[in-house]
Every structure is written in structure tokens, then in C-alpha cells.
Structure 1
């Protein structure tokens, strides 16, 4: 693994962790972790995928790891104030990451878990050259997800201004590129409701979109899901 950094628009360091693979024909896998997660939590997965020949990139996300931390990620008011801003900034930084990697977007496949699934889905929706998407326990329908968050927290409905901002990034507001997509979600997820995945699956309406639901699984990236990811990659990109 090699750690690199570039400059973001705010002149902050934009670090990423690179696991160089041997298969030059395989897509480069850019993996985004979840809220309160860490790139270190994906080292094992990155190494497994690297052993299969894939080059893997794990970007550090703002307010996480080397880019600053939050005292209590699970404080309700903190999450409400900072979650979407973190998602939006990471999406906006994708072009900086691509420039630093010195690769074409057509050589990239984006993967995300939980909050990372939101990020990866929007990046994929906005960049039709990207080879594919894997969304694990996240959402490709931002308005649907936010409505769930607000119901869970007992908050008021979205204001018009807030809705317009969410729609700017919402994957279901963009035409599906037709590239392969894998959606995975636990049917017992209490953190991010599966309704966002259903909405995105319906939006894509494509035979190239696979939606795998894992029974009696809460908000977890299980070994079965990892196996499903590796199988899907081998079937679509080997």
C-alpha cells in the first residue's frame, strides 16, 4: 500500500491509499467508507481485491482519518448538520482524485458502503464514463433517504431550498448510463432504510443492475456481501 496526497480546492491535503494490482485490464476500484468509518477498516478488503489483480484506491474522506475527526459522530445534531455536507464535498472532490491518479474515468469502478454508497452512487450517476457501481447498505435516492432520516429523528419535512440542493446530487435525477450496477442491502437495516435502494433500482430499470438483499442482516458489510462483490466483479469484469 502507498499513501498519496493532492491539494483540494481549499488547499487542504486530499490523501488516498493505493493498493497496486497486477491486472492492467481490470477497472481501478475506488472504495468509499461510511460515516464514522475509516480507510483502515477497508485495508483487508483492499488486499483481498489486490490479490485478485485489482488496483484499489481508498480516499480519505473529509472529517475522517487524516482530514480531521468529529468528537462524537453519533450525536444526533452533529450527524444532522454534517452528514450531507460530507457527502457533497466528497462527490465534488472526485475530479481532484482522478487528476491525481492520472487515469481516465472510463478505467474506474466506484464502490461505497453506507455513506460511501451515497457518495459512490452520485459519482457514478454524474460520470457516465465510469465502468460500474457497487452500493452496499447505502442509497441511490437522496430525497427518499433524507425523508427516512427525518422521520426517524422526528424532524420537519425538507424545505424547498434543501430539496433543491439534494436534487443537485441525487442519483435518481440523472439518466442511468447502462453500466453494470450491484446493489446490496440487509433487509433488517435500521440505520439506512432499504427503500432508497429499491427506488434507485426502479429508476435504473436495466438488466445490468443486480439487487441482492441479505436476510436478517442489519447495517453490516458481511463476509457474504464481500463474497458477492468478488463474484460480481469476476462475472462482469474478468
Structure 2
């Protein structure tokens, strides 16, 4: 896995030994408090199937203004959605800088990265596909559930309005395929946001979207998930 920095963007890249016919580029976004390099094993496994894989460093992580105590409650409440929104906003410049065409990109995200990938996918209609693992495609609903869990006040109007600007369920569903994956015992990112986005896609009569729910699985990526993910990528 090679680390690169170009025009302010730092990312890791894994080139396949033999590029498959799809020419798809897989961009993986990691979860809150994680690291781009922490997805090396997954990236290399995907690259073995002939895909070029890129893992960007995300703002407030790795070398980009890392937070001293990312799991402190106030820090999460302050920076979680800000990180997601900033990364969504950066995407067009990121792929332009790397010389990647949007339609060749399949986005994969885990946890917070799933929110990022879903937000990009909703905004950038030409992107070639989405895999949201243990994330959410329903931002306002997820924030409401976070606040209820933490015994905080209801969402202020200004926060709600800003979330709605990025919320995937507030935008028309794009044409590219979608895979949603979630453990039904997830205590970190409630499955409700994923289920709500799936319900939205069904209402939009989107035919090439699939939801996979894993029984007894908390907030992690299992071997079954990896196998289902790679099988889906090979069919896209």
C-alpha cells in the first residue's frame, strides 16, 4: 500500500496486479477515530479482485488536524457531522486532483465513513456505486437518535437545516447500484438510519439497491460482510 500526497490531499493507494474489465476505482472512507492505514487488509483483499483501491485521509484524523481525544463525548458532538460534511464537500476536488472520473468510482464507507460515502453518493449523481457498512443514509434521524441516547436537547433548528442540506433522503436517488450492510445489534450507529434510507429507496422505486442485515452483529465488519461486499463488487 502506497501513501501519496498531492495538492493537499493525502491518501493510500493499492494497485491491482491485474485490473479487471470494469475499470472501477474503489474509494474507502473509514470510521470516526479510525485511520486510513487501518483499512489496508480490506483494501488489499479488494485489490486482489482487480480493483484499484484508494483510502483518503479524513479531516481531523491521521495527519489532518487530528483531535487529541476523539472519543470524548463533547468532541464527537462538535466534530462528527462537521467531519462528514467537510469530506462530502471535498470529494469533487479530490477525484479531480487524482484524475478519476466519477462514473468509475464505487464508494465504500464504514460507520462515519458510511455516512460520508452515502452523502457523496446522494450529491454526485454520476458516481458508479455505493456500499454503506454500519453507517446511515438518514442524517437527521440518526442525529435525533444520538441525542436521545445521550439525553441531550432536541435538534436545534439551525442544526437540522444544515443536516438536511447533506441528508441523502433529501435528494433524488441516483441511478447507480447501492449495497447497505448493517449488524442488527449495532450499539454505536443504530441500524434505524440504514433502514430509513432503504425505505426511502424503495419509495423511490430504486431496483438496484440491496439491504443485508447481519443477525447478532454489533458495530464491526465481519468476514461474512467482506465476502458479501466482494461478491457484490464483482457483479457491479
TM-score, scaled to structure 2 = 0.95
Match of 1:10 in 2: none
Any stretches of 5+ residues in structure 1 without a counterpart? 8-12
Deviations 1:108-165 (A, max 9, x none): 0101000000000010000111111000000000001000110011111111111110
Match of 1:58 in 2: 55
Match of 1:228 in 2: 228
Tell whether 2:5 aligns with 1:5.
Answer: yes
**SS at the partner of 2:67?**
coil
- Offset of 1:63 from its aligned partner? 1.0
Any stretches of 5+ residues in structure 2 without a counterpart? none
TM-score, scaled to structure 1 = 0.94
- Superposed counterparts of 1:87-98, under 5 Å: 87-98=84-95
- Superposed counterparts of 1:178-189, under 5 Å: 178-189=175-186
Match of 1:25 in 2: 22
Deviations 1:60-80 (A, max 9, x none): 001111213222211111100
Give distance in 1, aligned partners of 2:9 and 2:149.
33
- Superposed counterparts of 1:157-196, under 5 Å: 157-196=154-193
Match of 1:155 in 2: 152
CA contact (8 A) 2:102 2:126 kept: yes
- Offset of 1:24 from its aligned partner? 5.3
Give distance in 2, aligned partners of 1:201 and 1:182.
10
Alignment partner of 1:127 out of 124, 127, 133: 124
Deviations 1:159-200 (A, max 9, x none): 111111000000011100131100000000000110101110
Coordinate RMSD, CA, aligned: 1.1
Match of 1:43 in 2: 40
**SS at the partner of 2:63?**
helix
Equivalent residues, number: 231
